[in-house]
Amino acid sequence: MDYMKEYTRWLASDVITAEERAELESIADNKNEIESRFFSPLQFGTAGLRGVLGAGIYRMNTHTVAQATQGLATLILTHGAEACKRGVAISYDCRICSDLFAKISAQVLAGNGIRVLLFDAMRPTPELSFAVLRYHTIAGINITASHNPKEYNGYKVYWEDGAQLPPAEADTVAREIEKTDIFNGAKLADFDRAVADGTITYLGAETDEEFLSNVMSQAIDPKAVEAVADEFSVVYTPFHGTGYRLVPEALRRLGLKKLICQPDQMVPDGTFSSVKSPNPENMESFALAIDLARENKVDVIVGTDPDADRVGVVARSANGEYICLTGNQTGILLLDYIINARKSTGTMPEKPAFIKTIVTSEMPRAICNYHDVECADVFTGFKFIAEKIREFEPDGKKYLLGFEESYGYLVGDYARDKDAVTATMLIVEMAAKYHAAGMTLVDALESLYQKYGYYAERTVNVMMPGVNDLADMKRLMESLRNDPPKDIRGVKVTAVRDYLTAERREMATGAITKTHISGSNVLYFELEDGSRFIIRPSGTEPKIKIYLLISGADHESCAKRVELLSDGIDDIKGRI
């Protein structure tokens, strides 16, 4: 694409706003900035769009959102009048322009004769998934960039099953986007007129109540909280996001009396003014919450990301230190708790199962083997967990928990995307149960390591900003695929799984077998010491993600292996 030609086209357009024109004129002498905005359109994948806010085809703005929505509308129109009548549910988070992008999306759908159910204010992502199922809509749109920095926004599309858009439908939308002129290709209805004639209707408190009812139905042993309600305490922070209303309400309904919400971060704010990053994966994000917890000697801190689909946990240890749990560790604790709580309450299904992603810790497999629970591996992304849940149903299998290492958890059948509202409720129930036994979550985790074995994990992001990021990522993956490393810092590679081609190759013999799943650009290196070294490009940001999965005789040996293999990442980066 001729980026200067596209830049000039935007400047000449009478569709862009005065603010957008001024923004583009301000970079007239900055060729690199022009190229970064116009070298390529944002790519529409199975998760939709995500990018930095601003003017340009490689930015999130009203034009890219309208163009994407027209692509979705065209897909829905091919499903006929009934699909249009079923309509599309739309929600949004606290980010800059999220409400505007939601309104534009509603106008485009209405302009195509498609019914719209628009939330009257920002809502958690899992409630959007719930709404798609509850109201039987053909699709859903959520305006969010999850836990990305404040400069980002995104456009997430769901299909009628409440999960993110399947690959075939996503490909159709992507093709339709390419055919749609970014300035005049979308059909926009007048918003107020569409509301007046009922094409656009609002979802409000009644949907919240039904969603919360389903959330509370996932509690396994509410009496665990009741038993320690006068002494057990929790600090909660939504990091200025959508969890600020429903998460505290769910915890209060659970019976939690001593709940302290971080007051500064209970205020919705798309600039996330009180945190460096609204990401519960980062310890520094919890700084204010930890200060509040120390002042009040609180037992557990929970924090949900801006769209409340991910949750992080900071637990107070026996000596009063606050320790940030990883997404893997929280999931491990939840899995073991759910299994044991189901057994003790007599609610364990006949065919229990658990679902994780291939980049998630292997410790859950040890837990499942111990308890005779099926453990299934899927690709990264909750849409694959949702697919596996559907696959289980004809065989009468009932999943207990699905989780991925990136702080996402799901239980129940009311939604098909990760849900920090329910996860937070179950984390608090679990922590209360351990509190009654005189244990912190840190104590509980250590007891699980002693029971099931020692494991450690690390995820490293190799950032690739700039106009050549996609080409650099492609070149790196091709290099590793065509010439895989024979060892990583002296630890021999025994086999390589290529999940794109569905082949697993033994390094010593060259023997090839098939992987159980295929179709994702992931390379999985099996090492001689039992460790795993996994590499994949991010689907939402310009970066390569590298995962280290370790097991060992004790914490010390695991830590040493993690550091050794982490050094090997420099060797991988050298191929870029």
Q: Indicate the angle between helix axes 62-77 and 98-111, nearest 10 degrees.
A: 40
DSSP E strand boundaries for 322-422: 322-324, 352-357, 374-378, 398-404, 408-410
CA–CA gap between residue 570 and residue 533 (Å, rounded): 13
DSSP summary character for residue 164: B
pLDDT means per 10 residues, the chain with 576 residues, are 95 96 97 96 90 97 98 98 98 98 98 98 98 98 94 97 94 97 98 98 98 98 96 98 98 98 98 94 95 97 98 97 97 98 97 98 98 97 94 96 97 97 98 98 98 96 71 87 94 97 96 95 96 87 88 96 92 78
pLDDT score for 321: 97
Does residue 146 have an active-site annotation? Answer: yes
Cβ burial of 466 (10 Å; 0-12, 13-18, 19+) is middle
- What pLDDT is stored for residue 319 in this prediction? 95
Q: Which residues contact 22 (CB under 8 A, 6 or more apart)?
A: none
Q: Alpha carbon of 387 to those of 102, 339, 383, 425: distances in Å?
A: 27, 22, 6, 25
CA distance 154 to 145: 5
**Which residue has 């949907």 as its token pair?**
207
Non-local CB neighbours of 205 within 8 Å, separated by 6+ positions: none
pLDDT value at residue 193: 98
Phi and psi at 383, nearest 5°, equal -65, -30
User: What is the distance between the alpha carbons of residues 352 and 341, in angstroms, rounded to a whole number?
Assistant: 13
pLDDT of residue 472: 80
Total-model pTM: 0.95
- Distances in whole angstroms, Cα of residue 556 to Cα of each of 135, 366, 527, 559: 52, 20, 19, 5
What kind and span of H or E run contains 167? helix 167-179
- How many whole angstroms separate alpha carbon 164 and alpha carbon 384? 9
- Candidate list 146, 233, 361, 520, residue with the active-site label: 146
Q: Where are the beta strands (DSSP E) in 470-516?
A: 487-488, 491-498, 503-506, 512-514
| 200-203/88-92 β-pairing | unpaired
Q: Left (φ > 0), alpha (ψ -120 to 50) or beta: where does 123 sit?
A: beta
327: left (phi over 0), alpha (psi -120 to 50) or beta: alpha
